Amino acid sequence: MPNWLKNAVFYEIYPQSFYDSNGDGIGDINGITEKLSYIKDLGFNALWLNPCYLSPFMDAGYDVQDYETVAPRYGTNADLYRLFDSAHKMGMHVILDLVPGHTSDKHPWFEESKKPQRNKYSDFYIWSDSAWSRPEGYSWVAGMADRDGCYMLNFFNSQPALNYGFNHVTQPSWQMHYTDERVAGTFDAILDVMRFWLDRGCDGFRVDMADSLVKNDDEKTATASLWRKARKMLDEQYPEAMLVSEWCNAPRAINMAGFHCDFILNHYGKLTYYAFRHKDENGQNKSYFCKTAHVSAHNMLRQYLDELNETCGKGYISLISGNHDTERISYMLDESELALAYTMLLTLPGVPFFYYGDEIAMRYIPQQSKEGGFQRTGSRTPMQWDADEKNLGFSSADRARLYLDVDRGDDAPCVRQQLEKPDSLINTLRKLIKLRQTYPQLQADGKPEILVCNDDGVLCYKRDDIAVAFNPTDRQAVLPMRTDRQIFVTGNATNDGDNTLLAPQTAVIFALN
């Protein structure tokens, strides 16, 4: 287990939209390098970059055309190596996005696989044995290649599934078992990609759709067996490298497949949500942190605590503020509610991830789809650096050339203006990260002990000798213990006899004796 994870707080960057260093309207790698000290000043010590590889961008880069080349619009491989190096010098780690389930249909492997003549890549993708009938289950494309067969998709139509075989072979004429030597080369190719970047300074990977590799694998045992190979390679050759999965089932991802971390994400239909957001029976969005739309703490934490019980000591659960697939967390929570949510994110065990812009409550801006984003596009708008600068400081390009327009609202939240206000969200977050880094009790390991979990919304948990209490409601509430040694408060917590009165929307971190 990489030791640095104990204390890691990640910042996710969507490279298109972070900082444009050369004025062409789109964010780039050198822009990220220029802003490293901003990220570090907030206390973040690790970065996850969304895919930055050569791609036709039918799915914002999750359709990879070349796993080992940085897309020219973001710069060069040398720029990325320099980013690794600068980050390391500042004590930070950088992980890349690994997309093993599918490639772009423009990937040279697929161009070869499409050919009717047998070649090295014929079995790299999943082909049925006739262009005339699409097999049942999964999604297929027919009639787009001279090869007689349909090819299986893993996501959008531009993303053919790589072939890791089937766990249960039901149609032997075209399905291969996952142990068949004809498919062994596929995972080896992905291991090569991992080594390529690790050898050049990358510190690990966020693994896209990690559970999607082997087909007809409902229990995911075959898919897990592949990832255990990857973990073995890391343990032997790159013991400080980390893997975090988009699996959303920590017991499987960690205990079975050997991932160091797994994200908690809820999927409702085609939308992805972070852990702190729920839909009620009527499909209404709710969150524990909302003053009014109340979800019990018990409901919010159930999945997290269950998964933590099963995985504790073997790997970490990653709670997130949101990501490039979710609506922005500010769409649901206002600034005081966000302060409570971030207090929890930074004081529960696991490895927390923040999505760029969530530190200033950047808004979700519904708009026309860009590069396969659809409703996700509203969460992918450019970072807002300074209200007084052109394009809020994101880019010097003309407005019409921007990758996506910046938030044009008069009150668009911006970094510089928020940093100047002592009680702003960004300064609260900075304080919280600092606290977590000062107190090892608040870091990734261990389990919280729930001290209070009341129907009126009051929640209090303890981590060794530090406790954290919340009152998210719009009414004063009573915490049945004193909080004499307060380390951090948002809202107000006043001792009163044997109790503490928690003002509406309060979170307090305090030392126990």
Binding site for Ca ion (CB under 5 A): 20, 22, 24, 26, 28
Q: Which does 155 bind (CB under 5 to 8 A by kind): ligand GLC, Ca ion, none?
A: ligand GLC
39 makes contact with ligand GLC (CB under 6 A): no
Of residues 249 and 391, the one with the C-beta less far from ligand GLC? 249
Structure tokens at 218: 């409902």
- Closest distance between ligand GLC and the C-beta of residue 180, in Å? 25
**Cα–Cα distances in angstroms (integers) from residue 497 to residues 161, 202, 494, in the given order:** 63, 54, 10
Name the region of 218 (left: φ>0; alpha: ψ -120 to 50; beta: rest).
alpha
User: Residue from 58, 94, 96, 99 that binds ligand GLC (CB under 6 A)?
Assistant: 99
- Closest distance between Ca ion and the C-beta of residue 406, in Å? 14
Neighbours of 91 (CB within 10 A): 10
Q: Which does 34 bind (CB under 5 to 8 A by kind): Ca ion, ligand GLC, none?
A: none
- Closest distance between ligand GLC and the C-beta of residue 11, in Å? 16
Place of tokens 């490039």: 324
Q: Which residues contact 22 (CB under 8 A, 6 or more apart)?
A: 28, 30
Structure tokens at 141: 């494309």
Q: Which does 22 bind (CB under 5 to 8 A by kind): ligand GLC, Ca ion, none?
A: Ca ion
Q: Which does 325 bind (CB under 5 to 8 A by kind): ligand GLC, Ca ion, none?
A: ligand GLC
Is 160 in a helix, a strand, or coil? strand
CA distance linking residue 321 with residue 298, whole number of Å: 19
- Closest distance between ligand GLC and the C-beta of residue 163, in Å? 17
Of residues 22 and 237, the one with the C-beta less far from Ca ion? 22
Amino acid in the structure at residue 236: E
Q: Which residues contact 496 (CB under 8 A, 6 or more apart)?
A: none
208 makes contact with ligand GLC (CB under 6 A): yes
- Closest distance between Ca ion and the C-beta of residue 390, in Å? 14
- Closest distance between ligand GLC and the C-beta of residue 131, in Å? 25
**Residues 126-165: x where in contact with ligand GLC by CB under 6 A, - otherwise, as a string:** -----------------------------x----------
User: Residue from 20, 203, 211, 325 that binds ligand GLC (CB under 6 A)?
Assistant: 325
Q: Which of residues 46-85 bind ligand GLC (CB under 6 A)?
A: 59, 62
- Closest distance between ligand GLC and the C-beta of residue 141, in Å? 16
Q: Which does 407 bind (CB under 5 to 8 A by kind): Ca ion, ligand GLC, none?
A: none
- Closest distance between ligand GLC and the C-beta of residue 272, in Å? 7
CA distance linking residue 154 with residue 142, whole number of Å: 15
- Closest distance between ligand GLC and the C-beta of residue 279, in Å? 19
Of residues 100 and 472, the one with the C-beta less far from ligand GLC? 100
Residue in the shown chain whose Cβ atom is closest to ligand GLC: 62
Q: Cα angle vertex 456, ends 330, 339, to 5°?
A: 25
E strands present in 219-308:
242-245, 261-263, 265-268, 271-274, 277-279, 285-287
CA distance linking residue 335 with residue 231, whole number of Å: 40
- Three-class secondary structure assignment of 58-91: CCCCCCCCEEEEECHHHCCHHHHHHHHHHHHHCC
- Closest distance between ligand GLC and the C-beta of residue 93, in Å? 20
Of residues 156 and 331, the one with the C-beta less far from ligand GLC? 156
Of residues 22 and 309, the one with the C-beta less far from Ca ion? 22
**Integer distance in angstroms from the first to the last C-alpha of the chain?**
33
Cβ-contact 178, 217 below 8 angstroms: yes
What is the distance of C-alpha 179 from the center of its chain? 31
467 makes contact with ligand GLC (CB under 6 A): no
Using CB under 6 A as the binding criterion, the count of chain residues that bind ligand GLC stands at 9
By CB neighbour count within 10 A (0-12 exposed, 13-18 middle, 19+ buried), where does 317 fall? Answer: buried
Of residues 227 and 403, the one with the C-beta less far from Ca ion? 403
CA proximity to 9, closest of 50, 56, 55, 41: 41
Q: Which does 20 bind (CB under 5 to 8 A by kind): Ca ion, ligand GLC, none?
A: Ca ion
Amino acid in the structure at residue 97: D
Binding site for ligand GLC (CB under 6 A): 59, 62, 99, 155, 208-209, 246, 324-325
